[in-house]
Amino acid sequence: MKKWLILLLTLAQMTVFAREAVYLKDGNVVKGNIIELIPNQSVTIKSADGSIFVFKSDEIEKIEHDTSEADTEPPKEAPSEIIKRGFNCQVYGSLITGNMYGITASTALGFQFNKHMFLGMGTGFRIADDNYTTHVAVPVFVNFRHDFFDYGATPFVSARVGATIAVEEFYDASGFYGGLDLGCRFKRFMLSTGIETACGEDEKTSIYGLGDECTYQAVNFVLRFGVVL
């Protein structure tokens, strides 16, 4: 009687999805869910294939919790990656303010090395004004982005280094171009803010009108919107 009382208390602690193993005195083992237990009389167990077995108490050596499958949760399906490893294209639109004010449209084609790091080459079109004239140029740059987390929404840091090629009909001012952004990526969409700098040589704005070269450097604040295609 004591043996069956202990068995009842043990089974009461098991979840309805638990599996038990009934060890018989003849050496056989039947695994499944116990669906009926009559102390000192019989045990009814349903196996995984749906078969039902009834054993008398004098046939049973012991009953134990089966840990071979019940305690092992099925592997959870990994969430699909929003941005997968491999080549991808990123498209940006930017608002500029500071020494210049205007807009920039750009795109970058490169390789996503893992869930965190992207490296690619980019180009675009920038039109902006300062206190003197209109700047129209084509930036060409290396684009690096590092996402801090693996989540669908993650902060990131992005850097651009390259050059601007001036459209000479408007303004002759080719030179260095670079920038640093901090932002957040929401799945495939990006929003960031940062600082850009551009410098170059200008022959058309010589204050003496003699064709002397004048250097300039502009530092601008940028609000950038982007999407990964």
**2-65 is classed CATH 2.30.30.100:** yes
The pLDDT value recorded for residue 134 is: 79
pLDDT score at 9: 45
Do 2-65 and 86-228 show the same overall fold? no
Q: How many CA atoms lie within 13 A of 100 on its CB side?
A: 26
Share of the chain above pLDDT 70, in %: 76
What span, in angstroms and rounded, lies between the C-alpha atoms of 164 and 125?
A: 9
Confidence band, pLDDT 50/70/90 cuts, at residue 12: very low
Instruction: Provide the 10 A C-beta neighbour count for residue 213.
Output: 11
Q: Residue 187 region, left (φ>0) first, then alpha (ψ -120 to 50), else beta?
A: left
Q: How far apart, in whole angstroms, are the C-alpha atoms of residue 66 and residue 36?
A: 17
| Model pLDDT for residues 61-86, shown as the tens digit of each residue | 888 887 765 444 554 554 555 678 88
Residue 127 reports pLDDT greater than 80 = yes
Task: Please tell me the distance from the alpha carbon of residue 140 to that of residue 158, in angstroms, as a whole number.
Answer: 15
Tell me which CATH code domain 86-228 carries.
2.40.160.20
Q: Give the pLDDT confidence of 176-195 residue by residue, as tens digits.
A: 899 999 999 998 899 999 99
Kindly tell me if the per-residue pLDDT of 161 is higher than 60.
yes
What are the boundaries of each domain within the chain?
A: 2-65, 86-228
| Model confidence, pTM | 0.59
